[in-house]
């Protein structure tokens, strides 16, 4: 007998859960430093367009497929394609992507937990900027400390997902996302009082053609895809918990808007601090852990500002890690009839075990010759594998399926169910059939090195 599938308890809860999956470390960690590295305003403009013209249409098709079938990612493709081995493989690719992301994501999130503790202990007092910046390198090289915080973060994630959809994911999302927004808003308001706010505003919102490269467009498109949790099985899975009365187009539009607003607020919180302190906006991935603590130490109320910032960072990580664990667990539950407890515990333990080499990547505690052989340490190998292979390829195949193989009967029925946006269906169909696959295909070709768009356009 088929089990009754659990659904979101409310539209607000569903929005908070979906927003939580999207508003992750990509929003607070990657987006600001990519803005810095790609010249500010022009990158933001392209990111905004990419989110609405590419990200939202693919988000819609994933919700449509999930709600239609009411199963996990693999089951969705199996049901829609008469168990086609290829398309089921696309479902497994999404599950694998989420699993790999969780294995190293929890390492970064664990660092965030550690920095909350460090901030409460005012670790920066009496230290030079160089010593404060080097604290992160010390943490990276300490395999035991990294594993310790990794275990704690993974346990928190598993504890939430174990409680189910309504009592776990939805309940905690309705608490964490408003709390996250309030924390972000508070830090943003504080940033408006800093001397560098005007310069930060100009940097973020004023397009600078002198820094334009064609590859900037692809970077922004890839960022939009990642921050909306596309190609990972997350939105497919969350869509399977939607009621048929829910409005899919408006849900996707709300999530896309929230994603953009929060990304911009995060940047407008971070860059005034950077410009007020005379630091470089193009500090790269080390911006959060190496540069920000140095800047916090120079500000009044450093204890509160630093603690709130890294609490915000950890909240964003947790709302996404919950979704990553749920994607994998849902497939075990659907395909193998496992209990939620078994599926979640196996997923959590397995992701931690697979993540051990990432946690020890800088300490040399395991696979000491990895970088010599592969050119990157284990952690960077995993992030490269996801960013350049599994995520863009998975997203491309989902957009192709949604645009060319999903029947119009299913897509139109689900698009219009609970929606009054009938006029928008044909517009969406055009973007998911032609624009999204074409743009994502170029991203994939660039990512895997088949083309170099900068050389093509002579930049």
Q: What is the pLDDT of residues 181-193, one digit of tens each?
A: 999 899 899 999 9
Q: Report the C-alpha gap between 200 and 268 in whole angstroms.
A: 7
Give me the pLDDT at residue 1, please: 43
CA 359-363-364 angle, 5° bins: 100
Q: Report the C-alpha gap between 389 and 406 in whole angstroms.
A: 24
Tell me if 448 sits within 8 A of 389, measured CB to CB.
yes
Percentage of residues in the chain having pLDDT higher than 90: 64
Q: Is residue 4 domain-resident?
A: no
Tell me if 173 sits within 8 A of 319, measured CB to CB.
yes
Q: Report the C-alpha gap between 357 and 100 in whole angstroms.
A: 12
First to last CA, the chain: 61
Q: Is residue 180 domain-resident?
A: yes
**Which of 30-39, 216-225, 267-276, 425-434 has the lowest average pLDDT?**
30-39
Q: How do residues 320-347 score in pLDDT, each as one tens digit?
A: 999 999 999 999 999 999 999 999 999 9
Whether the predicted pLDDT of 294 surpasses 80? yes
| Residues 6+ positions from 127 with CB-CB distance below 8 Å | 135, 297
Model confidence band, residue 41 (pLDDT cutoffs 50, 70, 90) = confident
Q: Report the C-alpha gap between 79 and 16 in whole angstroms.
A: 28
CA 45-46-51 angle, 5° bins: 105
Give me the pLDDT at residue 248, please: 95
Whether the predicted pLDDT of 146 surpasses 80? yes
Tell me if 314 sits within 8 A of 113, measured CB to CB.
yes
Q: Is residue 450 domain-resident?
A: yes
Q: Is residue 121 domain-resident?
A: yes
Model confidence band, residue 459 (pLDDT cutoffs 50, 70, 90) = low
> How far is residue 300 from each of residues 40, 190, 401, 440, measured CA to CA in Å?
27, 11, 53, 45
| Residues 6+ positions from 199 with CB-CB distance below 8 Å | 272, 275
Q: Is residue 2 domain-resident?
A: no
Model confidence band, residue 138 (pLDDT cutoffs 50, 70, 90) = very high
What does the block give as tokens for 375?
A: 């050119």
Q: Is residue 3 domain-resident?
A: no
- DSSP conformation letters of 192-208: HTSTTHHHHHHHHHS--
Tell me if 150 sits within 8 A of 110, measured CB to CB.
yes
Among 233, 223, 302, 196, residue whose Cα is nearest residue 72 = 233
What does the block give as tokens for 296?
A: 């916090």
Number of domains within the chain: 1
> How far is residue 41 from each of residues 210, 217, 232, 395, measured CA to CA in Å?
11, 12, 28, 26
Tell me if 329 sits within 8 A of 71, measured CB to CB.
no
Q: Report the C-alpha gap between 201 and 267 in whole angstroms.
A: 9
Q: Report the C-alpha gap between 355 and 431 in whole angstroms.
A: 37
109: domain CATH number is 1.10.4160
Whether the predicted pLDDT of 230 surpasses 70? yes
Q: Report the C-alpha gap between 326 and 164 in whole angstroms.
A: 9
Backbone angles phi, psi at 23, to 5 degrees: -85, 80
Q: Is residue 274 domain-resident?
A: yes
Domain ranges, residue 302? 11-456
The pLDDT of 232-246, averaged and rounded, is 94
């Amino acid at each position: 007998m088929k089990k009754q599938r659990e659904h979101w308890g409310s539209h607000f809860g569903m929005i908070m859960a979906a927003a939580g999956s999207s508003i992750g470390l990509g929003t607070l960690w990657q987006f600001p430093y990519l803005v810095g590295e790609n010249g500010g305003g022009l990158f933001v403009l392209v990111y905004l367009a990419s989110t609405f013209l590419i990200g939202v249409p693919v988000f819609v098709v994933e919700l449509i497929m999930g709600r239609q079938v009411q199963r996990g990612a693999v089951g969705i493709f199996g049901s829609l394609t008469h168990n086609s081995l290829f398309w089921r493989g696309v479902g497994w690719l999404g599950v694998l992507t989420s699993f790999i992301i969780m294995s190293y994501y929890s390492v970064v999130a664990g660092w965030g937990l550690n920095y909350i503790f460090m901030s409460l202990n005012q670790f920066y007092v009496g230290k030079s900027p160089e010593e404060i910046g080097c604290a992160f390198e010390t943490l990276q090289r300490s395999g035991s400390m990294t594993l310790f915080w990794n275990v704690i973060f993974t346990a928190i994630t598993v504890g939430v997902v174990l409680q189910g959809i309504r009592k776990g994911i939805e309940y905690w999302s309705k608490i964490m996302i408003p709390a996250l927004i309030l924390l972000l808003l508070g830090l943003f308001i504080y940033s408006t009082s800093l001397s560098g706010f005007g310069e930060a505003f100009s940097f973020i919102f004023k397009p600078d053609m002198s820094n334009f490269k064609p590859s900037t467009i692809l970077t922004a498109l890839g960022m939009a895809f990642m921050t909306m949790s596309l190609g990972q099985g997350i939105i497919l899975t969350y869509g399977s918990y939607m009621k048929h009365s829910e409005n899919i187009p408006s849900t996707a539009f709300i999530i896309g808007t929230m994603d953009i607003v929060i990304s911009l607020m995060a940047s407008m919180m971070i860059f005034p601090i950077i410009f007020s302190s005379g630091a470089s906006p193009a500090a790269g991935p080390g911006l959060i852990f190496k540069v920000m603590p140095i800047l916090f130490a120079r500000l009044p109320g450093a204890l509160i500002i630093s603690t709130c910032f890294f609490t915000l960072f950890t909240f964003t990580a947790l709302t996404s890690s919950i979704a990553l664990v749920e994607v994998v667990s849902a497939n075990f539950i659907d395909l193998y009839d496992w209990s939620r407890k078994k599926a979640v515990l196996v997923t959590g333990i397995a992701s931690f075990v697979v993540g051990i080499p990432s946690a020890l990547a800088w300490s040399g505690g395991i696979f000491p010759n990895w970088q010599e052989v592969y050119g990157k340490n284990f952690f960077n190998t995993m992030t490269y594998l996801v960013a350049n292979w599994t995520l863009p390829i998975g997203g491309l195949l989902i957009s192709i399926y949604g645009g060319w193989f999903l029947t119009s009967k299913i897509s139109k029925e689900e698009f219009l169910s609970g929606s009054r946006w009938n006029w928008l269906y044909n517009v969406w169909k055009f973007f998911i059939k032609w624009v999204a696959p074409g743009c994502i295909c170029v991203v994939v070709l660039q990512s895997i090195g088949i083309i170099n768009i900068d050389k093509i356009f002579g930049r």
